[in-house]
Amino acid sequence: MGLFQSKHSDKKSPAQEAADVVAEVFDDQYREELRASGRDYLKKVMDENAEAIKKDLDATVAEVGSELKSYMTKRLDATIDDLNTEINRQLNERLVEYDRVTKDAQDQAVQSLNRNAVALHEKYQQLGQTLQQTIASQEAMMIGVFEENKARMAQTQEAQDEALDVLEHNIQSSQERSEQLGATLQKSVADQEQLLAKIFEENMERVNATKDAQTKALDSLTRSAQALEEQHQQMSEKLAKTVADQETMLVNVFEENMAQIIEHYLLGALGDQFDMKAQLPLIIGQMEENKQTIVDDMKL
């Protein structure tokens, strides 16, 4: 470096000159214009790129959406197919099981029905046999009974004949008794008439006595009514007198109470008017009146 400095001269090198020219050409204004031009160009390029990127992005999004939709549709269809298959399989299994259970139940029911039918048939046969035996025994019994009734009827016929004879005999005896009773009845009626006449007379006497008693009772009632009326009148007089007395007593009580009220009022009015000094002459005067009694008591 020191060597070059020692060879330093006033003549500028081309590079220096070029640098100077560049410095002159590329002044601040030119640089600012270049910057503005660059910014415009950059903006333009960026807008163009942004538009292209936006288009590409829209296309990509549309494509991705389409593919996603297709993919999801396929997956959904596959899932639905799987589900349908699984449901069908489970349904088939359940149906098979149901058919098997139903068949078993039907078989058991059929077997039970068959057993019941057999038992019913056996019971039917037993009942038939029992019925035949019963009918046979009933027939035998009915025949026996018929024979017995027949014999009884014959006996009854004989008894009826005997009873008829007895009845005829009884009718005759009854007629005789009836005649006797008629005579006795006539006699009794006569006796009753006499008795009734006697009773009637006695009753008449009693009725007359009752009439007398009623008359007396009416007289007594009349007297009682008069006495009651007199008592009522006396009680009315007494009540009037009592009311008058009560009224007088109430008036007296009222006057007494009024006197007490007046006295109370006077006491209340006077009580506040006298102090001890004002009362002193009255007290000494009253004590003077009772002086001898007090002295005598104090001496005891």
Judge whether 20 and 12 are in contact, CB under 8 Å: yes
x/- binding map, residues 193-232, to other proteins, per CB under 8 A? ----------------------------------------
The single-letter DSSP state of residue 26 is S
Number of residues that bind other proteins (CB under 8 A): 33
Binding residue (CB under 8 A) for other proteins from 7, 9, 14, 271 = 271
DSSP of 222-282, one letter per residue? HHHHHHHHHHHHHHHHHHHHHHHHHHHHHHHHHHHHHHHHHHHHHHHHHHTT--HHHHHHH
> Does the protein bind other proteins through residue 244 (CB under 8 A)?
no
Which of 27/297 has CB closer to other proteins? 297
Binding residues among 251-270 for other proteins as defined by CB under 8 A: 251-252, 255-256, 258-260, 262-263, 266-267, 270
Out of 10, 24, 28, 275, point to the residue binding other proteins (CB under 8 A). 275
Q: How far is CA 157 from CA 86, 143, 163, 165, 175, in A?
A: 99, 21, 10, 12, 27
Q: Which long-range contacts (CB under 8 A, 24 or more apart) does 51-55 make?
A: none
**Candidate list 24, 27, 28, 297; residue touching other proteins; CB under 8 A:** 297
Interface with other proteins, residue 247, by CB under 8 A: no
Distance CA 120, CA 126 (A): 10
Show Cβ contacts of residue 101 under 8 Å, excluding neighbours closer than 6 positions.
none
* Contacts with other proteins, residue ranges (CB under 8 A): 251-252, 255-256, 258-260, 262-263, 266-267, 270-271, 274-277, 279-280, 282-284, 286-288, 290-291, 293-295, 297-298, 300
